[in-house]
Each structure stands twice: as C-alpha cells, then as structure tokens.
Amino acid sequence: MSQPSPASLPPPAPRPAKPPAAAGAPSRLAWLDLLRGIAALFVVFDHLSYYVLQHVRAEVYNWFDAGNYGVFVFFIISGYIVPASLERKGSVRTFWVSRLFRLYPLYLLAVGIAVALYFAHFGGLRGEGTDPEASVLSQLLMMSNVLGGQNLPNVVWSLSYEMIFYLLITALFIARVHKRSSSYALGFAVAAVAIGGLLPQAYFIHNLATPRLIALMADLAVLAGLAFAVVLRGMSRLVGAAAAAVVAITLLAFNGGWIWPWEALSILALMFTGTMFYRAEQGQYPWPRAIAIGVGVFALTITAGLWHSRAWGMSAHAELLWDRRWVSAFALAGLTFGAGLAFRHVRWPRALTWLGLISYSVYLLHPLVIESYHHFTWTRHHHPFWLQVLLAAAFLAVVIAVSSVTYLLVERPMQNVGRRVGWWLDARFGPDRVPDHVPASAEPALAGSSGPASD
C-alpha cells in the first residue's frame, strides 16, 4: 500500500522540551545495554591482560580471542540499532546531528587526553606526532584506519567501520533500498570469501599519494557528499549520499589499515546481519529465514578468515591457534547476540545495564588508563596471582568510575544537546523527512547508545 505524500500529512506537533534526565530511562532496550557491557569487559580484558593475569590470558587465547569477540558483538549491535534509529527519525539531518553529538565530544576528549599523556611522558602518540597535519586529516572523520592514521587511542580503528556503515546506510535509506538487509549481509559475506583475499591493503597510500593527500581528498569528498545529503533535496541529496558511500567503501577495499580487506568485509556482513535481525524482530522479515541467512553469513565470514589467513605463512601450531580463536570468537558473538534477543523481554537490574550505558567511555578511555598504569616501573614486575587479580579489579573499578563521570558529564549532556539542536533545526527549516519514509510511531524508542559508538 502506498504511503501518503508528505504534502498530505498534517504538520508535526511541536515537540515538548525534555529535561535531560528523562531522555533515556523508560525507553532503554536493557538487553542491548547488557550485551554492550559484556562486550566492553572482554575488550578491556584483551588489553589489560598484557600487564596482569598473563597466565590467564595465555590459557584463554589458546582457544578464544576476547578482543575480537567483544568488537564482533559491538558490530552486530550497531547493525541492529543504528538503521533503526535512522528509520525512526525519518530524517537524514536529524540522524547526522545525533551522530555528531553522540560521537565527537567523547572522541575529542579521548584524543585530547592521549595528547596530554604524551606531553606528560605517560604515553605515546603511536607515531602521529611526526606529521601532525596528516594526523588531523586522518582522524577528522574518525576513519583513521582507512586513511593511513595510527588510531589514537588504539581502539578507534573500529570507529572507521562504524562510520563507513553510517555513510552506506544513509545512501541506501535515501535511495529507498535500505530494507534489503539480508541481501547486503550475504553480499558482503560472499565478497569476504571471494575477493577479500585479492584486495590490496593500503594500496592508495603505498602507490598513489601521500597519506596527507589521500586523507585530505577523502575528507573533502565525504564532507561534500554529506552536505549534499543533509542540506539539499531530491536527486541531489541521493547523489551526495551515494558519492560519500562510494568513497567510504573504496577506502575500505583499497586503503585499509592493520586489518585485512576480508576482515573489513566480514565486519559489514556482521552489521547488516544485525539489521536483518532488527527487521525480523519488528515483523518485517520471517524469523526462520533470518536465522538461516544469519547462520549462512557467519559460516561464510568464518570461512573467509580460515581461508585467507593461510596467505600469512604461519606455522602449523600458530595456524591452529588462530583458527580456534577466529571460529570461537565469531560463533560466540553470534550466540551471545542470539541469547540477548531470546531474553530481550527480561527486566535486567540497573547494575548490569549501567556498564552498557557507559560502554563508549569504557571503550575509548580504558587504553589511556592502561597507558598511565603501565608508566610506573613497579607495574612491570611479576606479581603473584592473587595480587594480579586485585590489580585487575582495581583497574576495572577506576575505569568504571572514570567512564561513569564522562558519561554523566560529557556523553549524556551532549546527546541531549544534539536532540535539542535537531528539534531547533526542524522548527527553523522544517522537518527533513525523506519522501516515503514516515516513522512508525509503534516502533520502540531507541535512545542512547548501543555499539561502542552507536545509538
């Protein structure tokens, strides 16, 4: 049945101002917060266990990669909730305003702290200080891992693929082909197997131009495309969104950083699988088919890793260990998300979901706490196991405390500012609804954040 034309719709009712404290409480999807908290803990363990609990790490990593598992869970959650947020808003402008205020304040704070630690001789800039101009250009759009940057802090590599996903779903949304999530999931999974091992890594930087020039050209192209998509109407906005998405996918395929092209394609397959599960949960897609395609996507992405990693020339023992970790991380990430979906109607205690609320802070800031922790000579000495457990618990307590503060003082206030800016823009310039995309009032409100950087 065709949608009513925008001209025939009644004008939107004025939005009442919401106090900041009321923005998220009743509308949270607690099961997503629970999953994000679990994912954040595994990523923290991955990085902290280089310094304490090394014997535990050695045993765990014989079978399982905790860091990969954590980011895989994050990517599936982002795929589940970010397109839902865009569709619920029905507005490209509002979506990107919310992205700006959701991502950048804490990101800039984390980069600022990293620079401050460098000048205080508590940490390093991972080589970024040698060419500050190129560093700024590569970090500007949070796409450092595909623009020759060194990921400052080191965990921001994953934000590159979050941003590529946002650009891609924006173009699909404007083109009105965004609901073909299963096709996109399978397409990227098949591409990971078929061509993921053939695509070159960092080809542009190694063969065409300097990192500074590549980053400058990519930044200008993406920003111009986004400006067209947000400001203009009709075919012009589609051209702009498509151009930005094409640049992003091209960078992913030909200019990736320390992860391989087949890994990047597998990440996009995971994210669109999350979107497919959202559509099934909303009744837009049959569950049996969604589950079958999800299993197929996971099988293909696991196959991509097992096949293409053979080109690294690892020893038989190293290859066996890597295979175990790749398969178990992927499989357990899928099972974790499936368990979350199965128990999505359970009321989880606030104490368990709080870690999910602050997970973006935990994700970005814990490497900086580790930098400070590692600075002191005494932390490099071998400690008995009981003391290592106490040190790990103390570290986690510090990270949670710091992240709670940054969530309350930076993240949540800036998210509320982003909402108010979006309302003001609607009042000043009129609603920015893409034709034929009228948000369904029956959809649950998906406020807050879900992946390390998504809402």
pLDDT, tens digit, for every residue of 67-80?
999 999 999 999 99
Exposure of 247 in the CB half-sphere (CA atoms within 13 A): 26
Bigger pLDDT: 434 or 409? Answer: 409
Q: Measuring CA to CA, which residue among 327, 359, 365 is closest to residue 65?
A: 327
Flag whether pLDDT at 15 surpasses 90. no
Burial of 140 (0-12, 13-18, 19+ CB in 10 A): middle
| DSSP type of residue 451 | S
pLDDT at 380: 54
Q: What is the mean pLDDT of residues 170-192?
A: 96
User: Is-contact 37 302, C-beta < 8 A?
Assistant: no
Cross-strand bridge partners of residue 433: 91
Q: How far apart are CA 296 and CA 188, in angstroms?
A: 12
CA dist 135 and 69 (Å) reads 29
User: Average pLDDT in the 433-455 region?
Assistant: 52
pLDDT at 206 over 70: yes
CA dihedral sign, ordered 214, 216, 220, 226: positive
Residue 445, both tokens: 């409100």
Please, are residues 141 and 198 in contact by the beta-carbon 8 Å criterion? no
Among candidates 195, 188, 216, which has minimal Cα distance to 204?
Answer: 216
pLDDT score of 17: 42
Distance CA 329, CA 1 (A): 43
Nearest partner of 226 among 217, 216, 234, 236, judged by Cα? 236
Mean pLDDT of 22-33: 62
Confidence band, pLDDT 50/70/90 cuts, at residue 452: low
Mean pLDDT of 278-288: 93
For the chain, give the percent of residues with pLDDT over 90. 67
* Poorest-pLDDT segment among 128-137, 267-276, 297-306, 354-363: 128-137
- Which DSSP state fits 381? S
The answer to whether the peptide bond before residue 6 is cis (omega within 30 degrees of 0) is no
Place of tokens 């409480």: 25
By the 8 A CB rule, do 145 and 397 touch? Answer: no
Mean pLDDT along residues 290-315: 95
CA distance 32 to 16: 27
What pTM did the predictor assign? 0.89
Residue 453 has pLDDT above 80, yes or no: no
Asked if residues 42 and 48 have their Cβ atoms less than 8 Å apart, the reply is: no
**pLDDT at residue 307 greater than cutoff 50:** yes
Tokens of 206: 């190694």
pLDDT exceeds cutoff 70 at 309 = yes
pLDDT for the residue numbered 382? 73
**Least confidently predicted of 125-139, 153-167, 300-314:** 125-139
Quote the pLDDT of residue 401. 97
CA distance 294 to 134: 39
**pLDDT, average across residues 124-148:** 80
DSSP code of residue 130: G
The mean pLDDT value for 262-285 works out to 96
Q: Kindly report the CA angle at 403 between 278 and 53, in degrees rounded to 5?
A: 95
Quickly state the pLDDT bin for 454 (edges 50, 70, 90): low
Burial 24-46 (b: 16+ CB within 10 A, else e): beeebbbbbbbbbbbbbbbbbbb
Q: Residue 434: which pLDDT band, with cuts at 50, 70 and 90?
A: confident
Under DSSP, the state recorded for 433 is: B
Q: How far apart are CA 355 and CA 364, in angstroms?
A: 14
DSSP 454: -
Beta bridge partners of 91: 433
**405 vs 348, more confident:** 405
Mean pLDDT (whole number) for 194-209:
90
pLDDT category of residue 435 using cuts at 50, 70 and 90: low
Contact 248, 167 (CB under 8 A): yes
pLDDT at 262: 96
d(C-alpha 214, C-alpha 143), whole Å? 12
Structural contact between residues 337 and 387, judged by C-beta atoms closer than 8 angstroms: no
Highest mean pLDDT: which of 4-18, 20-34, 98-112, 134-148? 98-112
Least confident of 140-149, 324-333, 355-364: 140-149
**Helices 287-308 + 181-194 axis angle, to 10:** 20
pLDDT for res 383: 79
Confidence at residue 42, expressed as pLDDT on a 0 to 100 scale: 97
**What is residue 234's predicted lDDT score, i.e. its pLDDT?**
86
Q: For residue 327, what are the contacts with CB-CB under 8 A and spacing of at least 6?
A: 302, 305, 306
Give the model confidence (pLDDT) of 38-60 as tens digits.
999 999 999 999 989 999 999 99
Q: Round to whole Å and give the CA distance between 306 and 172.
A: 31
**For 175-286, where are the alpha helices, taking DSSP H only?**
181-194, 203-207, 211-231, 234-254, 261-281
Position 277 pLDDT exceeds 90? yes
Residue 208 pLDDT: 86
pLDDT bucket at 432, cuts 50 / 70 / 90: confident
Q: Quick one: average pLDDT of 420-426?
A: 93
What confidence score (pLDDT) does residue 437 get? 59
Segment 301-329 shows an average pLDDT of 94
Encoded tokens for 164: 């590529």
Task: Tell me what the pLDDT averaged over the chain comes to.
Answer: 87
The residue whose two tokens read 């397109």 is: 83
pLDDT of residue 128: 59
Q: Give the pLDDT of residue 284.
A: 92
